[in-house]
């Protein structure tokens, strides 16, 4: 099988975010970059599927600036066989990224299945997977917790609102967006980290796949950081006094009761 995984590089959740000079986005200087955590479940599922089907390969794709190759190397260290980097600008929106990923997939000889995370943790848009599938022309199933693999189709257990689940059957090839809990992603071992440095990462430009600035649908401006949190209050006294004062503050200052 020819198995593909689309991943995204995002800022570490512990990174302190600053805005750039014109407030059109974040200042990328000094940021620690990681693979979006949901993508780790997608990679793990792809690796398990490959291991059950001898002769299969896992190829990881990512669109973004040159630094994205570092995250592709992380996926290779987890066990993926090779990677594809599509160079797109920092400001590329979901539509442009999806069209770039789809363009790269269309250049591949054969695509049997594509995995993605259900969403990226930086913008939480949950759009790129579905858009990529549409541009490739294959069905997609999102928020997937488990998959039963058949020769020509898949049965997916997906999470829906209210703690319920539904089963969706789709023909292959298809795109599957992984939810947390689908599996337990593996750690990259030291030998695999060393091997990853030698694995192929194919470089593509937008001109190679037919995308451009014209595919940008959204342009951001006037980003604002959330207001600083007010300092907390410590209430002194015995429990009865504290309870009385807390009730007063909630009523008169917080105005929640």
One domain for residues 251 and 155: no
> How many percent of the chain have pLDDT more than 90?
74
* In the chain, beta strands by DSSP E: 2-6, 9-11, 33-35, 57-64, 82-87, 113-117, 140-149, 153-159, 165-171, 174-178, 201-205
One domain for residues 57 and 143: yes
Q: Which 8-state DSSP code applies to residue 67?
A: T
Contacts of 238 (CB under 8 A, 6+ apart): none
Residue 198 lies in a domain: yes
Residue 68 lies in a domain: yes
Average pLDDT over residues 2-19: 92
Residue 181 lies in a domain: yes
One domain for residues 232 and 199: no
pLDDT tens digits, one per residue of 185-228: 999 888 889 989 889 899 999 999 999 999 999 888 888 888 88
Decide the pairing of beta strands 113-117 and 82-87.
unpaired
One domain for residues 109 and 174: yes
Residue 8 lies in a domain: yes
Residue 222 lies in a domain: no
pLDDT of residue 227: 84
pLDDT tens digits, one per residue of 68-100: 999 999 999 999 999 999 999 988 999 999 999
Statement: residue 162 has pLDDT above 90: no
* CA terminus-to-terminus distance, the chain: 60
Residue 86 lies in a domain: yes
One domain for residues 111 and 209: yes
pLDDT tens digits, one per residue of 18-41: 888 888 888 888 889 999 999 999
Model's pTM, two decimal places? 0.86
One domain for residues 246 and 141: no
One domain for residues 72 and 183: yes
Number of domains present in the structure of the chain:
2
User: CA–CA separation, 201 vs 67, rounded Å?
Assistant: 13
Residue 246 lies in a domain: yes
pLDDT tens digits, one per residue of 169-195: 999 999 999 999 999 999 988 888 998
Q: Which of 3, 38, 45, 48 is nearest to 179 (CA)?
A: 38
One domain for residues 164 and 250: no
**Contact at 8 Å (CB) between 144 and 178?**
yes
CATH number of the domain where residue 92 is located:
3.40.50.620
Residue 108 lies in a domain: yes
pLDDT of residue 229: 82
One domain for residues 49 and 169: yes
| Residue appearing with tokens 């442009």 | 96
One domain for residues 188 and 233: no
One domain for residues 238 and 130: no
How many C-beta atoms surround the C-beta of residue 233 within 10 A? 9
Where in the sequence is the domain holding 6, given as residue range(s)?
2-215
One domain for residues 233 and 176: no
């Amino acid at each position: 099988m020819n198995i593909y995984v689309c991943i995204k590089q995002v800022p570490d959740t512990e990174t302190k975010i600053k805005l750039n000079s014109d407030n059109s986005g974040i200042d990328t200087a000094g940021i620690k970059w990681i693979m979006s955590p949901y993508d780790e479940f997608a990679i793990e599922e792809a690796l398990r599927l490959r291991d059950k089907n001898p002769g299969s390969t896992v190829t990881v794709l990512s669109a973004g600036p040159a630094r994205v190759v570092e995250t592709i190397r992380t996926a290779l260290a987890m066990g993926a066989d090779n990677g594809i980097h599509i160079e797109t600008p920092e400001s590329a929106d979901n539509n442009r990224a999806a069209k770039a990923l789809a363009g790269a997939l269309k250049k591949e000889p054969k695509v049997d299945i594509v995995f993605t995370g259900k969403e990226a943790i930086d913008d939480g848009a949950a759009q790129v997977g579905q858009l990529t599938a549409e541009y490739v022309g294959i069905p997609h199933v999102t928020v997937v917790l488990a998959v039963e693999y058949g020769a020509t189709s898949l049965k997916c257990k997906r999470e829906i609102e209210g703690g319920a689940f539904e089963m969706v059957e789709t023909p292959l090839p298809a795109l599957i967006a992984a939810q947390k809990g689908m599996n337990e992603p593996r750690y990259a071992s030291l030998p695999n980290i060393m091997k990853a440095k030698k694995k192929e990462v194919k470089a593509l430009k937008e001109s190679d796949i037919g995308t451009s600035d014209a595919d940008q649908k959204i342009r951001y401006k006037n980003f604002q950081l959330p207001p600083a949190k007010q300092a907390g209050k410590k209430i002194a006294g015995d429990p009865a006094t504290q309870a009385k004062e807390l009730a007063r503050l909630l009523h008169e200052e917080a105005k929640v009761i």
